[in-house]
């Protein structure tokens, strides 16, 4: 290459670089860029979510807890493992891990693990529960003998054998009832009965029977105790055979007597503490305590029959509470330590409890997915950022008493060994998996939206169809035409409301007397019809109700054949 050629080449190269630099520095503006599609700088993830992502997160917690919560008895003095439980030495104790096996926080964790096993199909979650419950059931009689002989024993076992507060009994008892109902081979009845005896017969109460404490003031109600005492009583109704109504009535009574004193309607929140005889009640809306209240209502609604006379009242309170909470979610997806005080810190355990309860309510048909699905998903994204690489849960407030000043709550420490965060986070993850399997979230115009049917477009901004017509046929068993008409004339209000809320309208069913074929036609706003609502528990209960008079599939859904439209005239 000669000098002239080299010079020309260099000049062209410099010109090219200059031109590129000019293009690279081109200012983004309204004329050359769709600004609404620019990516915001979110502090927590804001995106589509997959069940695989969620399970990966909660699996990390499971692995961590498997390693740090042991099922062994050891000598306190020597640390030696004891395997002969029939001859325990006086210094025998449960091997100390990172967390206590029978604390109320671990009762929540056991319930969460069972929910995760069901949601994921992963038996490791249920194994975690049954391994520890079998262990506690096996060693308990031997520690009781030790207690009766010496007058004392390992404090962790003493908490199980002789509970002295609802914290000692309720959450673990509820989890044991659920486990016993699922696995008949377990022998948890002695422990369950011992816990229930304390809750029902020995716990301190106000004159009207409301669970109470004598600290920090005489006759104090702690909102926490709604959860510590009510769910085990409600769940025991499933085991009580002829006395089901008795235990469910007690559970419902407790909730409404707490609410009478602690619900603040203008805030749609519960105050944390209430003292009998106190003139004024400063209301501090502590996040986790409101979580315990919401979780209590969720648990009781799960157990309560749909025709229970108090169900509508309880459902209304639950929905009002969700409305109050949803309005206070932060832009990062968390809720604050004091819910209505944005300068208090963002807290993990309360956020996780709300995510579980809201997503569970959507899955059960109690809440509208379009309104609350994004709330739950944003909350989960926030919670997932607090699961560290080891599987520990960060940002959880430690155990907290009750106070009437803000500083007490503002400065409560957070710690990865605060056991309160682990169960709620697993429970939230499990229910988010259910939610993602049942609903159809999709990013649309940079926002997460929940749809009742899958939106298959990949466009960043899209519209949904306005109206859908659908016709199908079903098959009535001979001789049941009058019964079919009778049952539909008294259609359940909750089913009618669910169909209407889902956009279904102008719905008719005709009967062909010659063939016993039922011909149905309906219109729906959006892309979902009644035929797309089979995951809803209300629909499934209607299927069960109608199964004896119709041709049905193995899951009791009616045998249905869609009919193509060949002509239409407005």
Residue 509 backbone phi and psi in degrees, to 5:
-130, 130
Is the Cβ–Cβ distance between 189 and 251 less than 8 Å?
Answer: no
**What are the tokens at 109?**
């964790």
How buried is residue 81: exposed, middle or buried, by Cβ count under 10 Å (0-12/13-18/19+)? exposed
Angle between helices 123-150 and 189-201 (to 10 degrees): 70
How far apart CA 418 and CA 350 sit, in angstroms, is: 13
Give the containing element (helix H, strand E) for 522: strand 517-525
Check the CA dihedral 143-144-150-152 and report its sign: positive
Instruction: Determine whether 142 is an active site residue.
Output: no
CA distance linking residue 46 with residue 544, whole number of Å? 39
Q: How many other CB atoms are found less than 10 A from the CB of residue 146?
A: 22
| DSSP label of 476 | B
Of 335, 332, 341, 388, the residue nearest 358 (C-alpha): 335
Three-state DSSP at 207 gives: coil
CB 169 within 8 A of CB 232: yes
Is the backbone peptide bond immediately before 216 cis, with ω within 30 degrees of 0?
Answer: yes
Question: Which residue among 142, 420, 488, 568 is the active-site one?
Answer: 488
Whole-number Å distance between alpha carbons of 520 and 508? 6
Q: Which residues are catalytic?
A: 488
């Amino acid at each position: 290459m000669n000098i002239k050629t080299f010079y020309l080449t260099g000049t062209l190269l410099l010109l090219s670089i200059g031109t590129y630099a000019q293009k690279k520095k081109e200012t983004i503006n309204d004329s050359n860029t769709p600004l609404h599609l620019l990516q915001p700088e979110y502090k927590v993830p804001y995106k589509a979510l997959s069940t695989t992502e969620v399970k990966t997160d909660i699996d990390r917690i499971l692995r961590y807890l498997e390693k740090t919560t042991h099922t062994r008895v050891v000598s306190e003095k020597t640390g030696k493992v004891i395997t002969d439980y029939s001859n325990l030495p006086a210094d025998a104790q449960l091997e100390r891990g990172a967390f206590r096996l029978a604390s109320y926080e671990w009762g929540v964790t056991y319930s969460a693990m069972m929910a995760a096993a069901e949601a994921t199909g992963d038996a490791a979650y249920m194994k975690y529960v049954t391994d520890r419950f079998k262990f506690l059931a096996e060693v308990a009689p031997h520690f009781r003998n030790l207690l009766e002989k010496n007058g004392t024993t390992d404090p962790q076992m003493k908490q199980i054998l002789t509970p002295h507060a609802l914290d000692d009994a309720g959450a673990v008892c509820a989890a044991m009832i659920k486990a016993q109902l699922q696995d008949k081979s377990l022998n948890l009845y002695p422990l369950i009965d011992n816990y229930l005896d304390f809750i029902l017969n020995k716990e301190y109460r106000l004159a009207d029977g409301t669970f109470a404490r004598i600290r920090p003031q005489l006759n104090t109600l702690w909102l926490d105790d709604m959860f510590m005492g009510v769910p085990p009583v409600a769940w025991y109704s499933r085991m009580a055979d002829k006395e089901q109504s008795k235990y469910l009535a007690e559970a419902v009574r407790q909730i409404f007597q707490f609410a009478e004193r602690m619900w603040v309607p203008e805030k749609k929140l519960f105050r944390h503490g209430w003292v009998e005889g106190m003139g004024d009640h400063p209301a501090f809306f502590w996040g986790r305590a409101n979580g315990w209240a919401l979780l209590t209502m969720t648990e009781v609604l799960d157990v309560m029959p749909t025709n229970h006379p108090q169900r509508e009242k309880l459902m209304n309170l639950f929905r009002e509470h969700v409305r109050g909470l949803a309005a206070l979610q932060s832009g990062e997806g968390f809720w604050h330590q004091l819910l209505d005080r944005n300068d208090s810190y963002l807290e993990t355990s309360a956020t996780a409890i709300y995510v579980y309860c809201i997503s569970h309510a959507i899955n059960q048909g109690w809440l509208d997915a379009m309104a609350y699905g994004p709330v739950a998903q944003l909350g989960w994204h926030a919670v997932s950022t607090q699961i560290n690489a080891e599987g520990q849960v960060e940002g959880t407030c430690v155990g907290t008493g009750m106070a009437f000043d803000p500083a007490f709550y503002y400065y409560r420490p957070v710690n990865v060994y605060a056991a309160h965060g682990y169960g709620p986070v697993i429970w939230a993850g499990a229910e988010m998996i259910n939610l993602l399997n049942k609903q159809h979230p999709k990013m649309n115009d940079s926002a997460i939206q929940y749809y009742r049917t899958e939106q298959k477009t990949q466009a960043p901004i899209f519209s949904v169809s306005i109206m859908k017509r659908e016709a199908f046929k079903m098959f009535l068993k001979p001789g049941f035409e009058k019964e079919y008409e009778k049952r539909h004339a008294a259609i359940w209000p909750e089913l009618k409301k669910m169909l209407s809320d889902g956009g279904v309208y102008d719905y008719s069913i005709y009967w062909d007397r010659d063939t016993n074929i039922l011909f149905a036609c309906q219109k729906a706003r959006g892309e979902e019809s009644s035929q797309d609502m089979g995951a809803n528990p209300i629909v499934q209960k209607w299927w069960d109700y109608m199964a004896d008079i119709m041709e049905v599939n193995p899951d009791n859904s009616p045998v249905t054949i869609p009919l193509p439209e060949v002509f239409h005239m407005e």
